[in-house]
């Protein structure tokens, strides 16, 4: 990684050790597992993994600053997850005087979402610990007129607005790159659904095993209606076999970021039990009205090599295959039209107000809008069934322009933008 000097150690404390890929491992660099060590893993199940290379160079060409936690390595596939956030060039000056990216009012206006909605709770699942989550959440909220959390304890179950939950029962180690991720996720889910409680569920590491264990905790928390997962791990058959069941809970919809590299195919985004959220370039006028919205040139999503196509995607026959495809829906993700986030946990010399992009932005925005809409979906499958039935209707904005890699936006559903982007809350 020496050829990318702007990736300093401040972006994370996590060592990117090599792991011999297998099913069932925690993904720590001290574990060495082989496919033969788990009966659900076969040679065919991992055959696609060796072709996955680092995504850093493609992202760098897109003109974004790439946190080290967002880099997907081939040896991480099915073992360790990466974040999906990028820092906008020009929005990376330390300690900006104030927010310069898109604001909650602007994004809500663009997507025709009222400002005072939300109920129950949204659970955010991420890895490691974010030590300044509560003061940062409150700084963001106060700046934009959103409810703040007055409690002096981040983990108090009596907190009405924001609560941190340690998935393993003890505080995980701090990782500043993942702290950026958590700042985006908590603040922007709150921005779309101000009256919903936000849980931040911290997994003890970025291993798929630990993150999926955190999902089990998140979906059982009181009042949770949506679980937002902005992380991803290059898909493997093992991940779907082992962890698809984790993404099921009556009355809960699971949203996952599609990734920040063209044709990126990640778990959990391509799970049959998740809503895959892609990224767009959102162009607004001075009042926040949407002028246009195109597929973002770096958005992830593609055709899974393992997960069968679900019935809700039958409307896309002719545009996909017999396997599950993503994205399902999209929202702003291009760092060039990035959003304002407050993060005082310094990472790579950056702290304060920062402009972020990536499908890590799109994912909590869509989860928040679903909450604001009072969605009655009882599962991710039922939510996907609803939005696919809305193709061509006014409740969905049809994203018809833009290309990411070999995939292009088109009328109706397409891989890069899914059914389109939000257009009010009626489509949810």
CA distance 348 to 105: 29
Is 3 within a domain?
Answer: no
CB distance 170 to 135 below 8 Å: no
For CA atoms 222, 226, 228, 233, give the dihedral sign. Answer: positive
Is 20 within a domain?
Answer: no
Is 4 within a domain?
Answer: no
Check residue 60 and give its pLDDT.
Answer: 54
CA distance 238 to 209: 11
Token pair listed for 7? 């990736």
For CA atoms 109, 115, 118, 123, give the dihedral sign. Answer: positive
pLDDT reading at 231 higher than 80: yes
Check residue 282 and give its pLDDT.
Answer: 97
**Pairing label, strands 86-88, 121-127:** unpaired
User: 75 pLDDT band (50/70/90 cuts)?
Assistant: confident
Is 127 within a domain?
Answer: yes
Looking up residue 301, the CATH number of its domain turns out to be: 3.40.50.200
Task: Tell me which residue has tokens 């932005």.
Answer: 361
Q: What is the pLDDT of residues 267-277, one digit of tens each?
A: 999 999 999 99
pLDDT reading at 19 higher than 60: no
Mean pLDDT on 382-386: 96
Mean pLDDT on 289-300: 96
Is 21 within a domain?
Answer: no
Please state, in angstroms and as integers, the Cα–Cα distance from residue 380 to each residue in 234, 276, 420, following that order: 21, 10, 17
Is 171 within a domain?
Answer: yes
Instruction: Kindly state the percentage of the chain with pLDDT values over 70.
Output: 83
Looking at the structure of the chain, the number of domains it has is: 1
Check residue 385 and give its pLDDT.
Answer: 95
Closest of 199, 190, 86, 176 to residue 140, by C-alpha: 190
Q: What is the pLDDT of residues 38-65, one digit of tens each?
A: 333 333 333 333 333 445 444 554 568 8
Check residue 287 and give its pLDDT.
Answer: 85
Domain that includes residue 252, residue range = 86-422
104-116 as b/e, with b when 16 or more CB fall inside 10 Å? bebbbbbbbbeee
């Amino acid at each position: 990684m020496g050829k990318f000097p702007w990736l300093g150690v401040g972006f994370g404390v996590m060592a990117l050790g090599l792991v011999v890929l297998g099913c069932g491992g925690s993904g720590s660099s001290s574990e060495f597992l082989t496919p033969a060590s788990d009966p659900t893993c076969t040679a065919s199940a991992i055959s696609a993994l060796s072709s996955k290379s680092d995504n850093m160079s493609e992202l760098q060409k897109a003109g974004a600053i790439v946190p080290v936690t967002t880099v997907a390595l081939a040896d991480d596939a099915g073992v360790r997850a990466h974040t999906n956030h990028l820092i906008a060039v020009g929005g990376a000056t330390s300690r900006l005087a104030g927010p310069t990216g898109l604001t909650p009012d602007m994004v809500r206006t663009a997507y025709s979402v009222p400002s005072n909605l939300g109920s129950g709770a949204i659970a955010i699942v991420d890895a490691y610990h974010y030590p300044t989550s509560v003061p940062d959440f409150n700084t963001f909220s106060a700046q934009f007129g959103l409810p703040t959390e007055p409690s002096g304890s981040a983990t108090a179950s009596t907190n009405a607005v924001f609560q941190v939950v340690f998935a393993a029962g003890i505080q995980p180690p701090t990782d500043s790159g993942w702290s950026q991720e958590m700042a985006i996720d908590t603040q922007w889910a709150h921005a779309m659904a101000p009256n919903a409680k936000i849980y931040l569920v911290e997994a003890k590491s970025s291993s798929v095993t630990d993150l999926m264990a955190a999902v089990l905790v998140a979906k059982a928390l009181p009042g949770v209606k949506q679980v937002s997962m902005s992380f991803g791990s290059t898909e493997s058959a093992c991940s779907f076999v082992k962890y698809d069941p984790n993404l099921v809970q009556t009355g809960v919809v699971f949203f996952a970021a599609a990734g920040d590299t063209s044709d990126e195919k990640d778990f959990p985004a391509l799970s049959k039990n998740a809503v895959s959220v892609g990224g767009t370039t959102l162009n607004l006028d001075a009042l926040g009205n949407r002028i246009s919205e195109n597929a973002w040139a770096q958005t992830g999503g593609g055709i899974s090599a393992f997960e069968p196509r679900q019935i809700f995607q039958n409307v896309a026959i002719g545009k996909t295959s017999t396997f599950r495809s993503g994205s399902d829906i999209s929202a702003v993700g291009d760092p060039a039209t990035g959003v304002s986030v407050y993060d005082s946990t310094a990472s790579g010399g950056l702290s304060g107000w920062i402009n972020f992009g990536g499908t890590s932005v799109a994912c909590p925005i869509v989860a928040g809008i679903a909450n604001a809409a009072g969605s009655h979906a009882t599962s991710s499958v039922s939510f996907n069934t609803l939005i696919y039935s809305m193709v061509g209707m006014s409740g969905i904005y049809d994203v018809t322009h833009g290309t990411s890699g070999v995939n292009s936006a088109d009328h109706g559903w397409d891989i890069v933008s899914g059914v389109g982007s939000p257009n009010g809350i009626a489509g949810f």
